[in-house]
Chains A and B, each alone.
Chain A
Amino acid sequence: MTEAFIFDAVRTPRGRGKPDGSLHEITPMQLAVQVLNALRERNDLDTAEVDDVVLGCVAPVGEQGANIARVAALAAGFDDRVAGMQINRFCASGLEAVNTVAGKVMAGMSDLSIGGGVESMSRVPMGADGGAMASDPAVAFKTYFVPQGISADLIATKYGYSRDDLDAYAVESQKRAAKAWEEKRFEKSILPVKDLMGAVALDHDEHMRPDASMQSLGALKPSFADLGENFGFDGVAIQRYPEIEKINHVHHAGNSSGIVDGAAGVLVGSGEAGKRLGLKPRARIKSFASIGSEPTIMLTGPSFAAEKALKRVGMNKGDIDLWELNEAFAAVVLRFLDVMDIDHADLNVCGGAIAMGHPLGATGAMVLGTALDELERTGKETALVTLCIGAGMGTATIIERV
């Protein structure tokens, strides 16, 4: 089997996903184009050498529709022969895109490709693509569909995480993110986004609240109580988990991932292609896996994905130096720490999406880059990156520094 290496990873800063966010004036196409251009320029890349651009995008409609990956390659002026494919693994799309191109390299069917993702949540809102899962009653009934926030509250209820547990985690995430920025840990990968005139539109993650405290978070109202209690979703969740009397609504804007805009890209290829093009391998993609899990609780997939990815290459959790789990909701992370029995000190060391935001289609590629930077900074060897996923899935990738 050919080995797949990561040569480079870049990401945009994450802009607040609202009309007053700094990236709102930037089209999602531009976000993707600037990432592709950066990869070309940083690596002095002849784009004719690139087989494919695979981008994750979770609301692939409107200006993100019609295969944004291929169109972004064209718009970035890549060689006509570079194919493009948009994929949707919901929240893990960015990571799955990297896994997809890595898999082709490993199979010997590709030499060099780009995996990544893009999402302008301020311009194409979450859920803009509809979908049978929620709106078709036959499916909603069959799968006991509830929105993710209800699933997150269900995890907290079922496994006994209190509001304080979650808020304490969120405060720590903010602290770590602030410290990481202060220490310029993201510097290698951050690509400031330029506006129409070439001026910097955003050069830092603007969703962060470094001064968040237990008190300030304590003042926030639960986000999903109304949905759960008045629109029947708690009832649906309880019918799937009848051992539960009542859902505790403990998640809110401050201990859930932020809604943001952003894009990321990872350059992946074979060692041979690297040699030929003068690219320096930074990490080896050791293993990856995706898995389905029970869809109503929805967000418990990461541990299953992690175990699957570890098992595939005969590793165990002790072989992993650094863990990255997307902070979709605080309870997801607390559950993962518990079930994997790992230390928070080794997970999300630079904070996560609670502080910096979760641009759905891009996040997986972003956190992969963060893990790689952190391995290089600390001299550690292995990292496992994973995300929880809508409809009950998990995706995980294991990398090893070269």
Chain B
Amino acid sequence: MTETINFELDGDGIATLTIDLPEATMNVVNRAFLSDLSELVKKVTEDEAIKGAVIISAKPSFMAGADLRMLAQMSKEAEGMSPEERFKAAFGYSDLLRQLETSGKPFVAAVHGLALGGGLELALACHYRVLSDDRSTKLGLPEVLVGLLPGAGGMQRLSRLAGLQVALQYASTGKNLSSMEAVALKVADLVVPKDKLLESAKAWLLDKPVAQQPWDKRGFKIPGGGGAMHPNAVRTMIGASAMAQDKSWHNYPAVEAILSSIYEGAIVPFDTAIRLDSKRFAELMAGPVAPNMIRTLFVNKLAAERGAKRPQGQQKKPIKKLGMLGAGMMGAGIAYVSARGGMEVVLLDSTLEAAEQGKAHAEKLVEKGIKRHKTTKEQGQALLDRIHPTADYADLEGCDLVIEAVFEDREIKADVTHKTEAVVGEDCIMASNTSTLPITGLAEASRDAERFIGIHFFSPVEKMPLIEIILGKKTGDEALARALDYAAAIKKTPIVVNDSRGFYTSRCFGTYVMEGAAMLKDGIKPALIENAGRLAGMMVGPLAVADEVSLELSYKVMSQAKKDLGDAYPGSPADDVIIKFVEQLGRKGRKNGKGFYEYPEGGKKYLWPEISDHFPEAAEQPHVDEVKTRILYRQAIEAARCFEEGVLDDAPSADVGAILGWGFAPYTGGPLSFIDGVGAKAFVAEAERLAKAYGRRFAPPKILRDMAENGGSFYPAA
């Protein structure tokens, strides 16, 4: 009996293998599945009554990739293993798929929904692929997104079916293919309506099935050519290597490994090629990048989305009606994602016109979605019908949650809170989208601080995956539970933090921006600062990102902190730079059309050539590694400080929030994973050196010094 795959044999001798993992919404490759598939491949191979087999899924999707929790486990187990043992562990699934494809019996994959990673690799090992014409049917190899490569022959089969270019493109980016694209590229054979999947698969098996892959036939040649001697393939590889380096900034070993696998795999026989893939897979699993990325970007991200921080004993009560105060960029974006999440949204602004303008923003987003086939006209209209623009607080009646995104001013915020609470019921939760003002203080304006919470969105709301939920001193469990349920409804990843200046993400992100400015003050070349940021793994250089969020904002945050902290304000060399640019030069950032960069109309932005007139470049420039170190350490130290001060109380939230919130170098797995990776002792020593060289902001917090002394780490040692 197999527990993950149902086996059926029909009167024509056609076996149907229906994948249906128990108690799971999605089929994944886990140990039980591997053992079941192995057993059934053997059965189909050996049982003479069986002519061929269809592999299909009982779930809304065919199969996602490997169970990343299993991979995380494998990665731990691999420590201390010999290379041979690690290879064996990595090669298991690939070996099984190779047995399937060389079994002599024809296999068909009948795919509806997602076939990703190990799921697609299974389909590719079959001798024929039928896809449903449904929009939800997508094929892809997303392993690269968690620092891995497709380890079960997927790249080799893809390049042999569709050529090197296609294999390189999809395996190195993790991009999905639609059914139509898959057939056009010869990745699949046939597209049929969903209800004809099984029938069509069986029809091929009964008609003229071929139980041999093209690459197992004599004289097979890779479409478009392959190998080191084929001019076309050589050209393709030269371009692919450069473009991949250009995009990955040498931070993702998986990207290089994928290119190498596809390149070398085209030179050697198939069986050698898949063994090379598994060797590379095993090496990537040995880390540090893949294990860190899997832990943060998959395991812990998923846990956060599934309510790891949800207080116990709180019943689920869906938010049906949401009040949105303020219809500016943020408010409009929040209204849009909430309506998309199925809520009725009252979008309120001081005038009806302003509120309607906010809705117009949602209309534009819907239009874009329709153009890109992400939604239909009907769905889009239904979404828009759920957004009700108004200037009348009375319309907020019956709201389960009200979020304010009005001007960052305590009095204005207090005023809208009073007006709202005059209308809404007692169980309504009141939330603020402030990014700077402490929640505890804002909650004082509320009739019930227990039901007051911070929900910090990132701009643009429809794109940014994270929300930061902030607990004021008095915020209660129910408010937290509802905020988390709301996050789930709008499909955002939540992290939960405690009240503090700048909370967690803004505070740490600020250190990135300010360190960039501080380095200008130190006379480091602007281009070196920017490129070091990218080389360190940040999505955007610190000066560019400062322009994006506006130098004026940095100026305001700095001024406010000075005012609030008085003599305790630590100061930074960056302050002079920000003051100079905002006060004296009037260069306030991108919105203002000028900042650290120039923004020529219709042209590409470039660094303002006159920066060096104001902050002269030092004759001796630091090595780029030193600049990278400053950038990464400054942020990581701030994250550790937040941890020490109790702004957050768990490493996963810090790491998930850092990567999704402000784009901290994803390959590190987040700032705390980064510290663990360096090792507390070495990290503290380096931080102390930096503090001596550049200032107290680099001084390692006590929590790190303790770890260095006691050999501790943020995550339990593997």
The chain A residues found within 8 Å of chain B, CB to CB, are 128, 130, 132, 134-138, 140-141, 144-146, 231-236, 238-239, 242-246
Which of A137, A234, A245, A246 is close to B241, meaning CB atoms less than 8 Å apart? A137
Q: Are A235 and B256 in contact (CB under 8 A)?
A: no
B260 in contact with A136 (CB, 8 Å)? yes
| Contact residues on B (Cβ < 8 Å of other chain), bracket | 35 or more
Find chain A residues with CB under 8 A from B531 CB. Answer: 238-239, 242-245
Which stretch of B100-108, B244-252, B669-677 is in the interface? B244-252
Taking a contact as CB atoms under 8 Å apart, the answer to whether A232 and B239 are in contact is yes
A244-B527, A245-B530 are contacts. A232–B238 as well, Cβ < 8 Å? no
Q: If the complex has contacts A238-B531, A243-B525, are A140 and B241 also in contact, measured as CB distance less than 8 A? A: yes
Which 8 residue pairs of A and B lie closest in terms of their CB atoms, listed nearest first?
A: A235-B246, A232-B246, A242-B531, A137-B259, A232-B242, A245-B527, A140-B241, A232-B243
In the complex, are the beta carbons of B239 and A231 less than 8 A apart? yes
Please determine whether A130 and B527 come into contact, CB atoms closer than 8 angstroms.
Answer: no
The smallest C-beta distance from A62 to any residue of chain B, in angstroms, reads: 12
Q: Is the interface of B mostly helix, strand, loop or mixed?
A: helix
Measured between beta carbons, the chain B residues less than 8 angstroms from A130 are 228-229, 231, 234
What are some 30 contacts across the A-B interface (CB < 8 A)?
A: A128-B231, A130-B228, A130-B229, A134-B234, A135-B228, A135-B238, A135-B263, A136-B228, A137-B237, A137-B259, A137-B260, A140-B237, A140-B245, A141-B256, A141-B259, A144-B245, A145-B242, A231-B239, A232-B246, A233-B242, A236-B242, A239-B245, A239-B249, A242-B528, A242-B627, A243-B528, A243-B624, A244-B531, A245-B607, A246-B606
- The interface bits of chain B over 208-234 (1 if a CB of A lies within 8 angstroms of the residue's CB, else 0) are 000000000000000000001101011
Residue in B closest to A245 when the chains form the complex, CB atoms: B527
Assess whether B190 is interfacial by the CB under 8 Å rule. Answer: no
A318 to chain B, nearest CB (A): 29
The contact string, 1 if C-beta is below 8 Å from chain A, for chain B 601-643, is 0000011000000000000010010010000000000000000
User: Per a CB cutoff under 8 Å, which of A136, A236, A246 touches B263?
Assistant: A136
Interface residue from B229, B231, B245, B607 paired with A141 (Cβ < 8 Å): B245
Distance of A237 from chain B, by nearest CB (Å):
10
**Minimum Cβ distance to chain B for residue A330 (Å):** 24
Closest residue to B253 on the A side, CB-wise? A141
CB closest residue in chain A, given B526: A245
Taking the nearest CB of chain A, how far is it from the CB of B257, in angstroms?
A: 9
Residues on B with C-beta less than 8 A from A242 are 527-528, 531-532, 535, 624, 627
For residue B240, CB closer than 8 A to chain A, the reply is yes
Q: CB-CB < 8 A to A132: which residues of B?
A: 228
**A135 contacts which of B234, B245, B246, B247 (Cβ < 8 Å)?**
B234
Q: Is the CB–CB distance between A231 and B242 below 8 Å?
A: yes
| B229 partner residues in chain A, CB cutoff 8 A | 130
Whether the Cβ atoms of A232 and B245 lie closer than 8 Å is: yes
With a CB–CB cut-off of 8 A, which chain B residues contact A234?
246
**CB distance B250 to A239 under 8 Å?**
yes
**Complex interface: chain B residues within 8 A of A233 (CB):** 242, 246
1/0 contact string of B301-314 vs chain A (CB within 8 Å): 00000000000000
Q: Known: A130-B228, A232-B245, A245-B606. Contact between A137 and B240, CB under 8 A?
A: yes
Name the distance in Å between A190's Cβ and chain B's nearest Cβ.
Answer: 35
- 8 Å CB contact of A239 from B231, B234, B240, B535: B535
Q: In the assembled complex, how far is the CB of residue A136 from the closest CB belonging to chain B, in whole angstroms? A: 6
Q: Which residue of B lies closest to A146 (CB)?
A: B242
Among residues of A, the one whose C-beta sits closest to the C-beta of B621 is A243
Q: How far is the CA of A146 from the CA of B238 in the complex (A)?
A: 9
Q: In the complex, A134 Cα to B242 Cα: how many Å?
A: 9
Task: Please pick, from B237, B527, B624, the residue contacting A136 in the complex, using a CB distance under 8 A.
Answer: B237
- State A286–B627 Cα separation when bound (angstroms): 46
Chain A residues with Cβ under 8 A from B621's Cβ? 243
- Chain B's nearest CB lies how many Å from the CB of A344? 28
From 254 to 306 in chain B, residues with beta carbon under 8 angstroms from any chain A beta carbon are 256, 259-260, 263-264
Q: B residues within 8 A CB of A246?
A: 606
How far apart are the CA atoms of A132 and B227 in the complex, in Å?
11
Q: Which of B84-124 contact A (CB under 8 A)?
A: none
Q: In the complex, A232→B256 CA distance in Å?
A: 15
Closest B residue to A235 by CB, please name it.
Answer: B246
Cα–Cα distance between A236 and B242 once the two chains are bound (Å): 6
For window 523-559 of chain B, which residues contact chain A by CB distance below 8 Å? Answer: 525-528, 530-532, 535
B256 / chain A contacts, CB cutoff of 8 Å: 137-138, 141
CB contacts (< 8 Å) of B530 on chain A: these are 245
Contact with A along B154-170 (1 / 0, CB 8 A): 00000000000000000
Distance between A151 CB and nearest chain B CB, rounded to angstroms: 13
Q: In the bound complex, how far is the Cα of B606 from the Cα of A233, in angstroms?
A: 19
Distance in Å: Cβ of A141 to nearest Cβ of chain B: 5
The complex places the Cα of A141 from the Cα of B253 at a distance, in Å, of: 10
B350 to chain A: closest CB distance in Å? 44
Q: How far is the CA of A141 from the CA of B130 in the complex (A)?
A: 38
Q: Which A residues lie within 8 Å of B250 (CB)?
A: 141, 239
Closest chain B residue to A61 by CB distance? B229
Contact A235 to B242, CB < 8 A, known contacts A130-B234, A132-B228, A243-B621: yes
Q: Which residue of B lies closest to A150 (CB)?
A: B242
For B532, the closest partner residue in chain A by CB is: A242
CA–CA, A144 and B627, complex, Å? 20
Q: Known contacts A242-B527, A244-B531, A245-B531; can you find 19 more A-B pairs with CB under 8 A?
A: A130-B229, A130-B234, A134-B237, A135-B228, A135-B233, A136-B260, A140-B238, A140-B242, A141-B250, A231-B239, A231-B243, A232-B244, A233-B242, A234-B246, A235-B242, A238-B531, A242-B528, A245-B526, A245-B527
How far, in whole Å, are A232 and B228 apart by their CA atoms in the complex? 21
Give every chain B residue within 8 A of A238 (Cβ-Cβ). Answer: 531
Judge whether B246 and A243 touch: CB under 8 Å: no
Query: Contacts of A236 on B, CB cut-off 8 Å?
Result: 242, 245-246
Q: Are A134 and B238 in contact (CB under 8 A)?
A: yes
How distant is the Cα of A235 from the Cα of B243 in the complex, in angstroms? Answer: 8
Shortest distance between the CB of B440 and any CB in chain A (Å): 43
- Cβ–Cβ < 8 Å partners of B228 in chain A: 130, 132, 135-136
Instruction: Write the nearest CB–CB distance from B486 to chain A, whole angstroms.
Output: 40
Q: How far is the CB of B524 from chain A (nearest CB, A)?
A: 9
**A396 nearest CB across to chain B (Å):** 30
Closest Cβ of chain A to B354, distance in Å, is 41
Which residue among A130, A141, A235, A238 has the maximum number of chain B CB atoms within 10 Å of its CB?
A: A141
| Distance (whole angstroms) from the CB of A229 to the closest CB of chain B | 10
Question: What residues of B have a CB within 8 angstroms of the CB of A232 in the complex?
Answer: 239, 242-247
B238 to chain A: which residues have CB within 8 Å?
134-135, 140, 145
With A243-B528, A245-B530: A135-B244 Cβ-Cβ less than 8 Å: no
Instruction: Give the Cβ gap from B604 to chain A, nearest Cβ, in Å.
Output: 9
**How long is the Cα–Cα vector from A141 to B621 in the complex, in angstroms?**
25
Q: How far is the CB of B632 from chain A (nearest CB, A)?
A: 15
How far is A244 from B624 in the complex, measured between Cα atoms in Å? 12
**B117 → chain A, closest Cβ, in Å?**
21
- Distance, CA A236 to CA B239, complexed state (A): 11
| Complex alpha-carbon distance, A231 and B237, angstroms | 11
A-side contacts of B260, CB under 8 Å: 136-138
Tell whether, in the assembled complex, residue A145 and residue B241 are in contact, meaning their CB atoms are under 8 Å apart: yes
Minimal beta-carbon separation of A150 from chain B (angstroms): 9
Pick from B239, B242, B264, B531 the residue with the most CB of A within 10 Å: B242
Q: Which residues of A contact B263 (CB under 8 A)?
A: 135-137
Instruction: Write the nearest CB–CB distance from A349 to chain B, whole angstroms.
Output: 36
Q: Which of B233, B244, B249, B607 contacts A137 (CB 8 A)?
A: B244
**Shortest distance from the beta carbon of A143 to any chain B beta carbon, whole Å:** 10
Give B233's nearest chain A residue, CB to CB.
A135
Residues of A within 8 A of B244 (CB): 137, 141, 232
Q: Which residue of A lies closest to B623 (CB)?
A: A242
With a cutoff of 8 Å between Cβ atoms, the chain A residues found around residue B606 in the complex are: 245-246
Q: Point out the residues of chain B lying under 8 angstroms from A135, CB to CB.
A: 228, 233-234, 237-238, 241, 263
- Closest B residue to A137 by CB, please name it: B259
Smallest beta-carbon distance B149→chain A, Å: 12
CA–CA, A236 and B606, complex, Å:
18
> For A137, what are the chain B residues with a Cβ–Cβ distance below 8 Å?
237, 240-241, 244, 256, 259-260, 263
